[in-house]
Chains A and B, each alone.
Chain A
Amino acid sequence: MSITQILFWFLSIVAIFSALMVISSKNPVHSVLWLILTFFSISGHYILLNAQFLAIVNIIVYAGAIMVLFLFVIMLMNLNKETEPQKHKWLRIAGAIAGGSLLLVLVAALKDTDIKHQQALVNTGGIGLIKNLGKELFTTYVVPFEISSILFLSAMVGAVVIGKKE
């Protein structure tokens, strides 16, 4: 059992545990913190998969920007355990069962795919490096890249439309 494998298991367990905590903790602030932890563990996975660039971006964008945004909002509304609305017990159970069965079905379906023995975790390869990605992004993927700017524009306009006081 190599170190990478140990890391893999460790990160996976952390990710899943913290994810579970996200959905189970009563206090929204805690959920946010747990979610950040999840993201960190996922970034860890990225590093294991030599996707260094994505790992960094993940931490910056997600754990950094996005989650902070969430945190701000939650603080702003000072939500906490007391104000947290609770779903009816049975509905919660139903939801859990539904999601669980979906997982079950998918896993059962995909447990023996034709590619199941292909290796993902090896220490070679530099495609994840910013150099390669950048090259691709600004040659092949330039059009989608520009298009995504439209997406941002619309999001910005939207935020303005929604957020602006009248």
Chain B
Amino acid sequence: MTRSDGGCGDQIMQNALQMVYLIPLLPLLGFLINGLGRKQLSKPAISLIGCGTLLVSFALSIWVFLQVKGGNVHTAHYFDFISVGKLNIPFAFKIDQLSSLFLLIITGVGFLIHVYSSSYMQEEKPEHFGRYFSYLNLFIFSMLLLVMGANFVVMFIGWEGVGLCSYLLIGFWFKKQEYNKAASKAFIMNRIGDLAFLIAIFWLIAKLGTVSFDEVFTATNLAKLKTFDITVITLLLFVGATGKSAQIPLYTWLPDAMAGPTPVSALIHAATMVTAGIYMIARSNILYSLAPFTMDIIAYIGLATALLAATIALKQNDIKKVLAYSTVSQLGFMFLALGCGAYTAAVFHVMTHAFFKALLFLGSGSVIHAMGGEQDIRNMGGLSKKLKITFITFLIGCIAIAGIPPFSGFFSKDAILLSAFIKNPVLYGVALFAALLTAFYMFRLLFTTFSGKFRGTHEQEHHLHESPPAMTIPLIVLAILAIIGGFVGIPEVFIHGGDKLGEFLSPVITEQEHHVSHSTEYMLMGLSTGLVIAMIIFAWSKFRNYQRSEATGFGKVLENKWYVDEFYDAAIVKPIKKAGTFFNQVFDNKVIDGIVNGVGRLLHYGSRQLRLVQSGQAGSYILLMVISMVVIFVIQFFIRK
């Protein structure tokens, strides 16, 4: 696994994995074709290209995965991206367990969502349709770069690339300025994180002179780093992650990002992009294991985010907003896991979450589709009769996220809770509470949407219909995955060696062994499951047939998301704008330019005064001459002596 020198050593050319560049290349091609030919191509052609390229790379990813499973991990080096002085940054891909797993998730879920989109976006004009698919492909491309990059810089390229795509896709319907605002907000908040990421990279370069994983994560290099450096670097990287993965304090962009088309929300803002932060930290777990302080920070931030988002989700009425906040909350769980050193658990949850959250989003998409663009759940209800498949799949999704065995969510969330318990029972308690809230608001959503009687307008009711197969099939597939997805990580307590995922990832992820008695483990599982079921029943009793009611008191605070956006606006945005106005109107014009022009004005004034000396009278001229003569004589004879 040593980085090749120059990239064309024989053993590397022999290595089949050298061909992985095809995986990102195909979506890139799709992007170019669809992007440039969006006027010429017809919709079917566009969707064919969009999905086809992705299908192929999905197939390739499976092949790669099998290769890796067969123990063939490889760093494919292509060319020197930047090489200055001692610093050399190659353009290289790293194919190992972690990346191959993510490859599967991205291409797989991505493919499904492409298929889904091809019918969901039917109403768009061809060129916008093409634009949509080109963006989507571009996103897949950058996401693949992100996970395949063999060093932090290539990773960063993808990192910013996905940010760009999310910007483009949130603002896809660019006629609506508030959508564009949301897009800009997403991009800028990501930028803040990215800056921290960059500084971390620079710090690494300054200390180690290299950024490639293979070299950074070697014992010799890590030994060079002082604890302080490691803490700073890891913290900075984590700040980067908070931007991308919507953690406190940079999470507010994600709910707004729901402005984009629903499949986009499913793909980017639920399944893949937002998990980039987790991937990055998991990727550099060796570094993090050396920075306990950072780990604590991560754990607390993650937990706080999980709780905060969950509380907010309780009172949201926009179906997508609820899902968005639940995403934030779930991401919080993942970070909690990371903070507790349970990297595998985090990755596991990323996977399962990708399944059920994508499922939920697509389901909501199907609902919105059916409701003719209506997103407010207060105007829904009783949809279960009309949208059977959607309802069932949605239900599965909810069960999965709520964490009821044997659905996938249960295993991953359980692993996380366990790790939290091991770190600190208090953490566990809070996390459990958040999990319960999750169950509650998810089922609130489910019941208000599907049960009870319809609360929308009549023509909406008349218009209600089940979505076409192109949309339902992905739902079904994802539903199946949401059910069985958890079986790759069955805890030891049930089956010895059930934790396939853990084994698979063990080469890249080193976790300290933890030991809790089986009884405790059983007890915890039972507790959580029981409470969750109780919560579901409570929600059922409360929202079986929903009555519209104004939120009051605390509920209002929650409905307004703890006024965090308002706070940011007042604390940061407004001052910056004020400063800009001040500099623009006062400082630049009056002060600096004032000085410059003042010199000119002074010149004029001096000139006007000075020419009065030229009185035009010979007498005064001579007088002045004589006086100056006297002065000079005095200087010469009486002063200079």
Contacts and interface: CB of A to CB of B under 8 A. Distances in A.
A binds B: yes
Given A108-B637, A109-B637, A102 B619 contact: no
Contact of B626 (A87, A98, A108, A109): A98
Nearest to B632: A105
A98 B627 contact: yes
A95 interface: yes
Interface string B617-641: 0011001001101100110011000
A91 interface: yes
Given A87-B619, A91-B619, A95-B619, A105 B626 contact: no
Contacts of B637: 105, 108-109
Nearest to B633: A105
B619 A105 contact: no
A106 interface: yes
Interface string A91-130: 1001100110110011011000000000000000000000
User: Max chain A CB contacts within 10 Å: which of B620, B629, B630, B633?
Assistant: B630
Interface in A74-95: 87, 91, 94-95
B629 to A, nearest CB: 6
A98 B623 contact: yes
Nearest to A109: B637
A102 B626 contact: yes
Contacts of A98: 623, 626-627, 630
Q: Tell me the dominant secondary structure on chain B's binding face.
A: helix
A109 B633 contact: yes
Interface in B341-365: none
Interface in B40-63: none
A87 B620 CA distance: 11
Chain B contact patch, size range: 10 to 19
A101 B619 contact: no
A95 B623 contact: yes
Contacts of B620: 91
A106 B623 contact: no
Q: Tell me the dominant secondary structure on chain A's binding face.
A: helix
A104 B638 CA distance: 12
Contacts of B629: 102
Nearest to A103: B630
**5 nearest CB pairs, A to B:** A109-B637, A98-B626, A105-B633, A102-B630, A101-B630
A112 to B, nearest CB: 11
5 contacts: A91-B623, A94-B623, A101-B630, A105-B637, A106-B633
A124 B258 CA distance: 123
A140 to B, nearest CB: 33
A99 B619 contact: no
Interface in B587-641: 619-620, 623, 626-627, 629-630, 633-634, 637-638
Interface string B81-104: 000000000000000000000000
B143 to A, nearest CB: 91
Interface in A116-153: none
A102 B637 CA distance: 12
A91 B621 CA distance: 12
B620 to A, nearest CB: 8
Nearest to A105: B633
B16 to A, nearest CB: 105
A98 B628 CA distance: 10
Contacts of A91: 619-620, 623
Contacts of B626: 98-99, 102
A113 to B, nearest CB: 12
Contacts of B630: 98, 101-102, 105
Nearest to B634: A105
A108 B313 CA distance: 102
A102 to B, nearest CB: 5
A37 to B, nearest CB: 25
A92 to B, nearest CB: 10
A87 to B, nearest CB: 7
A80 to B, nearest CB: 22
Nearest to A104: B630
Given A98-B626, A102-B626, A105-B633, 6 more contacts: A94-B623, A95-B619, A105-B634, A105-B637, A108-B637, A109-B633
Contacts of A105: 630, 633-634, 637
B616 to A, nearest CB: 14
A106 B629 CA distance: 11
A51 to B, nearest CB: 29
Interface string A35-46: 000000000000
A78 to B, nearest CB: 24
A132 to B, nearest CB: 36
Contacts of A99: 626
A109 B636 CA distance: 10
Contacts of B627: 98
A94 B626 CA distance: 11
Interface string B382-399: 000000000000000000
